[in-house]
Chains A and B, each alone.
Chain A
Amino acid sequence: MESTQPTESKIIELKPFTDEMIVNMGPQHPSTHGVLRLELRLDGEIVREAIPHIGYLHRCFEKHSENLSYPQIIPFTDRMDYVAAMNQNWGFCLAVEKLLEADETKDFAVPERAEYLRVLICELNRIASHLLSFGTYGMDIGAFTPFLYAFRDRERLLLLFEKVCGARLTYNYIRIGGVSEIIPMEPGSVFEQNFLEEIEEFLDYFEPKIDEYNDLLTANSIFAERTMGVAVMTAEMALSYGATGPNLRGSGVDWDLRRDEPYSIYDRFDFNVPVSKDIPELGAVLGDCWSRYKVRMDEMKESVKIVRQILAEGLPDGPVMADLKAVRPPKGEIYFRSEAPRGELGFYIVSDGTPKPVRVKGRSPCFSALSAMQELSRGLMVADIIAIIGSIDIVMGEVDR
């Protein structure tokens, strides 16, 4: 009988990786917050690389600006970050005003009343922007209710903006040298009184709501599981990638332009700068998605605080527009940055002394924050990509300009 000799043992190689699969996420996908295409190189459900492709919303802001006068550029800034357009208007106007102020031959100053109106409106706009971010982040992750709550409250803010400038989204309200005067809001008028009262009513209604939202989403165990400890951005990484605003503070860097390089009249108000830290009992790690999200929730309270201080003081009397015949900055250049809801919004303007700029560059906070995406997402699951995009809170209009 033939014995079946054991042949030499076969070595079966166990390959831990499956073939790489490339999946295009976007450009049309609700959770990419606009038209962002992510090229995902997947190993099963693990993301080896997520390469962002941007530019789908590029509207040539910088090229257009070279052919327009300074006041004509302001509506274009509206279309950058269209959920916080007041802050974008302001950022651009601040840069031009800095250049006008630097001209010693002319006497130029923004009136007090305009400064108060700007801070008031921009802080309300910050709340509206963070509300949208909070609502859509919940929806991305699978919680539909917060979205409805957030939009209900944001609607009230949009109605207030509509009252003051006639538009709900693209305001063109803040102008070079002051604010728009289209709506007659004379000092002490009934219109002004009603407007301020309405804001106060909103704040009284809204302040307790923030705690409700924290109960609803922040402390929600499913939400916490999805966001805590995911995509940790260290402070060094955040600085190197140029992440700013809530993303930077979510990594534990205590930096806010409103406090540290105060512009306009922010030095007159008393507010805290929320900064994240490790919370081991909850499971939150410094710099994770949850930390970045939480900074926004806390910032809404601080914005309410600032608006309340303005309401307590009342708006000062006087004009809302500087006496400015033509906007004609001197030959020179300026880079000025301000704290928009999504981080530091910088404008680099080069002027040759004519009414049109030679160069306008918008340094958008989302552009820099999104560039960290590739490194943040390496080795995570596909579902975590959604959590990252929501937590760095991008608006594609600003990324692509």
Chain B
Amino acid sequence: MNPEEIYNTLVNKFGESVLSFDTELVGDTSIHIASTAIADVCQFLAETDTLLFDSLMCLSGLDLSTKDEEFSVVYHLHSIRHRHNVVLKASVPKTDAHLPTVSHIWKTADWHEREAYDLYGIFFEGHTDLRRILLPDDWEGYPLRKDYQEPDFYRGMRVPY
């Protein structure tokens, strides 16, 4: 199935939770999903026989600019059985970045979500072990946010160079 057919299938199934189909940008097309429904949509994509997205290739946090009021979480899915791809996007407000986890559907999401939490401060509800993964446990702030200011010192070591 191509992304447009997948979009239509999702609209039929989930109605208003599927927000839009983004084709105006160059490159990959993506389907916007309401953040509250993302886990249900992923479950449906992973388990329906005609879709069967058995692998989550990549899960990334995204902060486009300081002016934006939302973070995005981008899901790149692939089905080895049917050989098709789809990109899902869910937006969460920067002030309250919470959305449901998908780590019970694909286990690889466990570490990818921890990374998104570590670098963007996006909280994945229902994740069993949400703690920092790449940075030290006592690091302050979320470095990949566009408005991030690095601390002057970390444990007595100068940070900016």
Q: Which of A's residues lie within 8 Å of B, judged by CB? A: 54-55, 58, 60, 62-63, 98-99, 102-103, 237, 239-242, 253, 255, 260, 329-335, 337, 344, 346, 348, 350, 352, 358-359, 361, 363, 367-368, 370-372, 375, 400-401
B39 vs chain A, min Cβ distance (A): 16
Distance of A240 Cα from B42 Cα, bound (Å)? 13
Q: Do A332 and B106 touch (CB < 8 A)?
A: no
Q: Do B27 and A99 touch (CB < 8 A)?
A: yes
Distance of A226 Cα from B63 Cα, bound (Å)? 47
Q: Do B25 and A332 touch (CB < 8 A)?
A: yes
**B54 on the interface (CB 8 Å rule)?**
yes
A339 vs chain B, min Cβ distance (A): 13
Q: Do B80 and A335 touch (CB < 8 A)?
A: no
Which DSSP category, helix, strand, loop or mixed, fits chain A's interface? Answer: mixed
Q: What chain A residues lie within 8 Å of B133 (beta carbons)? A: 54-55
Distance of A372 Cα from B54 Cα, bound (Å)? 16
Q: What chain A residues lie within 8 Å of B108 (beta carbons)? A: 240-242, 368, 371
Q: Give the total number of A-B pairs whose CB atoms are below 8 A apart.
A: 95
User: Taking A350-B62, A368-B111 as contacts, is the C-beta distance between A102 and B134 under 8 angstroms?
Assistant: no
Q: Which of A332, A348, A370 has the most CB of B within 10 A?
A: A348
**B58 on the interface (CB 8 Å rule)?**
yes
Q: Do B58 and A346 touch (CB < 8 A)?
A: yes
Q: What chain B residues lie within 8 Å of A367 (beta carbons)? A: 111
Q: Do A346 and B76 touch (CB < 8 A)?
A: yes
B81 vs chain A, min Cβ distance (A): 10
Interface residue ranges of B86-111 to A (CB < 8 Å) = 87, 106-108, 110-111
**B1 on the interface (CB 8 Å rule)?**
no
Q: What chain A residues lie within 8 Å of B112 (beta carbons)? A: 368
**B143 on the interface (CB 8 Å rule)?**
yes
Distance of A348 Cα from B27 Cα, bound (Å)? 11
**B60 on the interface (CB 8 Å rule)?**
yes
Per a CB cutoff under 8 Å, which of B76, B83, B111, B144 touches A335?
B76
**B64 on the interface (CB 8 Å rule)?**
yes
Q: Which of B's residues lie within 8 Å of A, judged by CB? A: 25-28, 30, 54-58, 60, 62-65, 74, 76, 80, 83, 87, 106-108, 110-112, 119, 132-136, 143-144
Q: Do B62 and A359 touch (CB < 8 A)?
A: yes
Q: Do A102 and B143 touch (CB < 8 A)?
A: no
Q: Do B119 and A371 touch (CB < 8 A)?
A: no
Per a CB cutoff under 8 Å, which of B27, B107, B143 touches A334?
B27
B79 vs chain A, min Cβ distance (A): 10
Which single residue of chain B is at the shortest CB-CB distance from A236?
Answer: B54
Which single residue of chain A is at the shortest CB-CB distance from B63?
Answer: A359
Q: List 14 A-B contacts (CB under 8 A).
A: A54-B133, A55-B134, A98-B27, A102-B26, A239-B80, A240-B55, A242-B107, A333-B30, A334-B27, A334-B28, A346-B76, A348-B60, A370-B111, A371-B110
Q: Which of B27, B55, B58, B65 has the most CB of A within 10 A?
A: B27
A54-B134, A242-B108, A332-B26 given. 10 additional CB < 8 A pairs?
Answer: A62-B144, A63-B144, A99-B27, A241-B108, A329-B26, A330-B26, A348-B76, A358-B64, A363-B58, A371-B110
Q: Do A58 and B135 touch (CB < 8 A)?
A: yes
Distance of A372 Cα from B64 Cα, bound (Å)? 31
Which single residue of chain A is at the shortest CB-CB distance from B60?
Answer: A361
User: Taking A55-B134, A359-B62 as contacts, is the C-beta distance between A103 and B111 under 8 angstroms?
Assistant: no
